[in-house]
Structure 1
Amino acid sequence: MDASMKKHVAMGVISLMIAGSVMGCGKKDDKSSAAASSKTETEKSENKGSKEKGSDSSTISVMGIDWGYGPVQNSEMEKYWEDLLGVNLDIEWINYEDYDQKVNTLISSGSIPDVIQVSKMGNGSYYYPIFTQAIEAGDFVDLTPYLFDDGKGIAETNAVMKNWDDKMWDQTKYKDGIYILPRSKAESGQNSGIEVRKDLMEKYGFEKEPATMDELKDWLIQLSKAASDGEGKKIYALEYFGDKFMDDRVKAFATAFTGQSDWAVDKNGEFQYMQFKDEYIDFLNWMKALYDAGAIDPEFALNNSDTSKWKAGNSVALLSTWYNWNQSSDRTSSKIFDDSTPDDYKAWCLMPVKGPKAYTVSPNYTDVDSCIAISSKCSKEKIEKILTAFDGTEEQYPGYDKVMAFGVEGIHYVLKDDGTIDTSENLIKESGQDGYVGAWNQIFLKKDADMIADKFMRDGAKRASDENITRAKEIKDFVYKDLADTKMKNETQNLQSDTYNKQWSVLTDDVNTMCTQYVMGQIDEKEWKSFVKGIVDSSDYKAIQKEFKESAEETK
């Protein structure tokens, strides 16, 4: 799902381009419009379900995202699902680069298929302006009565969904309705892993792990120097490139200094953005210390992605997901590092370290892994058919989880004599791509993520060492407990602000440039604070704060 973050940087621009054609569909602040959109699906189906495109309950039309792997219509995978679920699927896979423009055009013209995959914006919300305007116009189904029905709803009985807590469902709400249907729950606090080169730790005597941000800074700088001298080439302290200081590759470090994620509510009840908090400069000073010591790429702002690449062995550490260092015990079956690197490189992950305000635990933008929405043109009968077909589980269909993970035996993988799965056979590569398993994981329900079981504890040669499995469990336990204790989250999750949608990119256009200049010593603290004050005192920033507060009141 990381690719969705990159592709949605321009979502605000796309939204503004198409919004004009949707404005007549409904007013966001019109209470009567909101009330009209909450009509029962029975009433909707009586009024238009039998006359609109897609009303035939025998065929379900779907639009899903192709993340570049090329799934095609009428693949063997599609036929497998149709036979298993007893449905006829008319599915169109759209390349991720074109998906938003196409689906938004269809939404604006009222021509959406029965089911669409909903894209995630850069701020983690699935409720973007064009989608919410269509919701207000009554174009999508409020799934609440289907999900919750005095213990008989899908969310209350489905073997996967019934394990989701209120926090998960809160992330699916728009005002008082639920218009997106999650496909799984992601691991929490994903980008909280400080991945390191353990072979360098052992070789140069740095096996005592740092516990605080100050200790981490000194540890990284000193190990970087020792490794550079010993290896005869420059090894940076931290992989970092580009000028995005809210990037997940550094955000957990900023969280440790500020005690919040992107947006938080301060003691006065005002919404506050992380980069404009007083303590954010302490994070910049931490980064500046690495820069001044020559421990990060001096030309990081030029976006030299390979210069300090951790997987190429060019850095001591990388801030990434806490589960993506799942190196196999033989260090070759699942290598982690680039193929060009020696087999003796060892991956490890530090426990989160403590900063002045918090640990280096960064909450997800959202725990909703991916989601779909259903057109209100569908009859009640079809809605129920979609919900039955798209929400399968292992309990309902034995072997379902295996198909969701690996595809169909003989088509997408070969079952070897030792019981392990091989997906690399040349004979199945073409059919495997055509039916690309991962694409179906975005639109059908799958079991919740368990990265320790799926990555570290896999059967066969790719299983990680016992030591690495133990550390992964320690990190997961710590991250989950910390988030439960602090209740930290992005407080604007699914909240709406017209001014934010229209002006945020303009308002913050120079922020990362100023961060870069500060870290490189080109501006001082006084200039930084004056710059921030100009933004937080602006009418646009104050309007954003006001609109988020009003939106929060509407969702209570």
Structure 2
Amino acid sequence: MKKKTLSKILALGLVSVMTAGMLSGCGGDTADTGADTGSAGTEAAGEEAAADDSASSGEVPTLIWWTCGGTPADDFEESIAAISDYTEEKIGVRLDVKIAGWSEYDQKMNNIVNTGEYFDLMFVNNTNYSKFVNLGALENITDLVQTATPDLYNFIPQELWEGAQIHGNVYAVPTYKDSSLTQFWYLDDTYVQKYGIDVESIKDYATLDPAVRAIKEGEGDSFYPIKLHQGALFNGFFNNYDGLAGGLQPIGVKIDDETRTVVCTLEQEDIVEGFNWLHSWYMDGIINPDANVITEGTKGSCFGTAQGWPAAATTWQTNEGVEKYDLTQVFGPIYTTETIQGSMNAISVNSNYKEEALKVLQLMNTDSKFRDMCAFGVEGDHFEYVSDGVVKRLRDDWTWPSYTQGTFFILSVTDDSDPDAYEQVKAQNEAATPSVCLGFALDISNIQNEMANCNTVWDKYKYDLLTGASDPNEVLPKCIEELKAAGLDTIIAEAQKQIDEFFAE
């Protein structure tokens, strides 16, 4: 994206929901571990052959759509089949939606791409988008989206299409949503009232500490005020640094550093302080002792951290089975390239149904009935309409996250949600300040090996560090040493070179 478009981005009023499942930002940094690939080649060949047969026989094609989310209910496939009846009627295709768990998403998507497993659509974000483009896995839709799905192209603001560009081309459809990031921490109102906690006064680790310690002391040894797991680490931990849309948390530029100096985030004083707070809470039983090893948590979290807006508390409460959360805004709102690329859907370069895939995304962004189905499930089973544009959830096990799918401007609201939710988002966008690197996205073409190697190292340490299980005074030096041996300094030098050239234009 050229710098001259940035002022336009700041004027956008866009909408999304960052659900509680996104406490980890839908995964973190990724690297292929080589696991789970034994039968991938056979599966890929079978699926591609089936797609070819369907295309040649004139049968209704079924598009494979990979995304992330919670564990699907037992009847999820039946529900998708019911939704597919509608897509078949409207655009002549059916869907096979496959959900990778929050903690599995990174590795699973890597394995699919690296083994050539067949798919048609894939949810991508700022942790893997540029990498998959550089690997040649995603279709260049720059022209096709305009010719095959003009309604989709015209619906999404031009600034978003520009924000989704890599090497001047578009490889994914951006979700028309909030383009700024605002971080909230929240506490179960039951414990807020019980222990007289002033939630609004909590703005950082130091002011959170007395609250979680009071709850821990009052509730006892078996109660953990902060519950984390591999799929939900401490969300927002690196917010002070622009990750340059590179998908590697150990590098970044301080969001307000006018010199735009690329640094190793793990060496920065504020990040080290955060690790120390997490470790102290872990050692004192405030964070659950198995946080670094379990892949999914249980409902009912006393404390949470998520990106969203005040009305999003309704979703967090529903997902956690908590009656009421009390919120405090601790960061933002701010714009970065990563927030713009935070939710997109891409088409496989090997898909036999590229135009059909785009038509699915067009339907998602223009047809409110289909939009509601994907967001809430099957009418009469998962939800019901109580009035025009208002739904009531009948079940709480629909785990396909709405923010990964499409726009919220045509989506019905739930009967327990704040009717002013969208206005809250617009207000946050209007108040957002830009990162000093807004508009820049790191091109990893010349550093792919170093990025992959560093991601492998970071994956080795991140679960222990971001749950507090490791003593940062002992582990951070080892992690940084291994990162440097894997090419971190080369990455930082390349990123600095690109930034200097980009902002010199």
TM over 0.5: yes
Bigger fraction of residues in strand = 2
* In structure 2, C-alpha distance between the alignment counterparts of 1:394 and 1:301, rounded to whole Å: 37
**Corresponding residue of 1:322:** 308
Equivalent position of 1:283 in the other structure:
274
TM-superposed deviation, 1:7: 7.3
Aligned pairs for 1:453-472 within 5 A: 454=413, 458-459=414-415, 462-463=416-417
SS in 1 for 2:124: coil
User: For the aligned residues, what is the CA RMSD?
Assistant: 5.6
Matched-pair contact (CA < 8 Å) for 1:415–1:421:
yes
Counterpart Cα distance in 1 of 2:278 and 2:402: 41
Task: State the distance in 2 between where 1:536 and 1:14 align.
Answer: 20
- Partner residue, 1:296: 286
Say if 2:176 and 2:408, in contact at 8 Å, map to a contact too.
Answer: yes
What one-letter code is carried by the residue in structure 1 that aligns with 2:435? T
Match of 2:18 in 1: none
What does residue range 166-245 of structure 1 map to in structure 2 within 5 Å?
166=159, 168-182=160-174, 184-188=175-179, 192-207=183-198, 209-210=200-201, 212-213=203-204, 217-218=206-207, 220-228=208-216, 231=218, 233=220, 239-241=226-228
Q: Tell me, what secondary structure is at the counterpart of 2:200?
A: coil
Larger radius of gyration: 1
Match of 1:264? 252
- Between the aligned residues of both structures, percent identity stands at 10
Q: Structure 2 vs 1, CA of residues 450 and 545 (structure 1 numbering), >3 Å: closer, same or farther? A: farther
Q: Which residue of 2 aligns with 1:350?
A: 328
Distance in 2 of aligned mates of 1:81 and 1:477: 31
Residue 117 (structure 1) aligned with residue 117 (structure 2): no
Unaligned runs of 5+ in 2: 1-20, 42-51
Q: Does structure 2 conserve the Cα–Cα contact (< 8 Å) formed by 1:274 and 1:280?
A: yes
- 1:447 aligned residue (384, 407, 424): 407
SS in 2 for 1:319: strand
Corresponding position: 1:78 with 2:62:
no
Shift of 1:239: 0.8
Give the 3-state SS of the residue equivalent to 2:201 in structure 1.
coil
Write the mapping of 1:37-116 to structure 2, written as runs, cut at 5 A: 54=55, 60=61, 62-65=63-66, 68-69=72-73, 70-71=76-77, 75-85=81-91, 87=92, 89=93, 91-94=95-98, 96=100, 100=109, 103-104=112-113, 107=116, 112=118, 116=120
Q: Match of 2:488, SS?
A: helix
Partner AA of 1:63 in structure 2: I
Q: Structure 1, unaligned stretches of length 5 or more?
A: 22-50, 340-344
How many residue pairs get aligned? The number is 452
Match of 2:236 in 1: 252
Do the aligned residues in 1 keep the contact of 2:335 with 2:435 (CA within 8 Å)?
A: no
Partner of 1:504: 454
CA-CA distance at 1:449 after TM superposition: 6.7
Q: CA deviation at 1:502?
A: 3.5
Partners in 2 of 1:536 and 1:288 — Cα distance? 21
Q: Is the 8 A contact 2:36 2:111 kept in 1?
A: no
| AA matched with 1:318 | G
Tell me the equivalent position of 2:481: 534
Distance 2:356 2:472 in 1: 61
Q: Structure 2 vs 1, CA of residues 359 and 548 (structure 1 numbering), >3 Å: closer, same or farther?
A: same
- What's the CA shift for 1:474? 9.2
Asked whether the 8 Å contact 2:179–2:339 carries over to 1, the reply is no
Alignment equivalent of 2:129, drawn from 123, 126, 129: 126
What is the match of residue 265 of structure 2? 274
* Structure-2 residue corresponding to 1:369: 343
Assess if the C-alpha contact under 8 Å between 1:189 and 1:363 holds in 2: no
Shift of 1:187: 3.8
TM-score (norm: length of structure 2) = 0.64
**Structure 1 residues 411 and 233, CA, compared in 2 at 3 Å: closer, same or farther?**
closer
Counterpart Cα distance in 2 of 1:191 and 1:158: 30
Distance 2:470 2:357 in 1: 57
Quote the offset at 1:234 in angstroms.
5.2
Supply the distance in 2 between the matched residues of 1:337 and 1:367 (Cα, whole angstroms).
Answer: 27
Work out which structure has the larger RCO, using CA pairs closer than 8 Å and 6 or more positions apart in sequence. Answer: 2
